[in-house]
Structure 1
Amino acid sequence: MKIILLGPPGAGKGTQAAMLVERYGIPQISTGDMLRLAVTAKSPMGVKAKEYMDAGNLVPDEVVVGIVRERLQEDDCAAGFILDGFPRTILQADALNEVLSDLHKQLDAVISLQVEIESLVVRLTGRRSCLNCGKGFHLQYDPPAADGSCTVCGGELMQRDDDCEETIRNRMEVYQQQTAPLEDYYRKQDLLTVVDGMAEIPVVQETIVTALQGC
């Protein structure tokens, strides 16, 4: 089963992808996570990617497409995959089609999570993660300890640079301009299912699973 999850930052793609991984036993491929690892390692690619990510802009296609091509050739993708955060533009979607064709693979479904922008701002500005163990929190929905520390190891929490409100709103604008058109792109290929991402997490998951039946 080869799936794309679409939706703006904070729509819940990562959460839903993790649940699909457990259900179907196929890997989640998050280009965002791969790019952040490069940033942490301060590799030449990571340093360049950080400039774009901190400003809320998209990382250049040649970087992202190359990462995805290599990942799809790994053994654990033989039975399928879940692409989370890619493609983000029509050009990337065209490039993905070429990659899949080269690898003799084809998409089964594209799921687009729909959410309200103001709700996304609340979701993203409240995110925190532990500098020591990496545990994630949300100030409103999954709060840390009363003193603001990690409930697992007591470590200090941090907010990602790209989770400040100004950057988030810029990311939303970029998404509407460059990524939202992918809905029509995949609708024309009869691959798109639109899902209400504002529903409870289990409801969203079951809606996705229903849409994937027969894939």
Structure 2
Amino acid sequence: MALASARPATARRGIKAQSATGPTQQSLKSAQTRARLIDATIRCIVKFGYANTTTPQVAAEAGLSRGAMLHHFENGAAMIKATIVELHEKRLRAFRRAAETTDHDASTMVSTYWRQLQKPAFVAFHELALAARTNADLARILQPLQIEFRQKFNSQAVQLFPEWQSDPVSFDLAMTLSQTMLEGMAINLLTGAIEESMVQPMLRLLEQQIRLMRPGPKDQPK
């Protein structure tokens, strides 16, 4: 204590500044490592499926030791939970990007969401959702997060689409129709249940239906 109090004021300020910036740099590094592990988990699920994904595989995919991985996630369940949260956040961010325009044209909205469904994140989430049907441990992780996601998604949708507020019933139907049809079509395309040539006609059909359901003057196809 005596040595510390004998230091010049400028030196003490330097030490204080270092201690203030140190944890911030460390927390940033920690967040980056967690993000690497989550991205690696998504890639492993896409490559191997949920049942065949192991924590050593994830660590290797991230370029980290298993010990380093366990420093950030105490077990596989914690890592899967963080991965599901990130997958939900990716969907919410994509939805915001698609909706934060002055013109909510049905064609733009549908094509933007469809492009999002072609990314690995959708495949990973679909794998997890199917696995949760028969895996009770995974279901206990997934189901509460699904409820939380729906609440966030619905709240965000109401804010981003004020033009639909006069008809909330039609809005709920339009959102449910869009999500069910687009995600179902993406799954069918992955499994070969539909031909790729059907994608664009189905997208146009969905756009037409949304225009018909929208309150006020109806959009004209562009």
**Bigger strand fraction:** 1
Q: Which has the bigger relative contact order, CA under 8 A and spacing at least 6?
A: 1
Provide TM-score, normalisation by structure 1.
0.27
Greater CA radius of gyration, 1 or 2? 2
Provide TM-score, normalisation by structure 2.
0.26
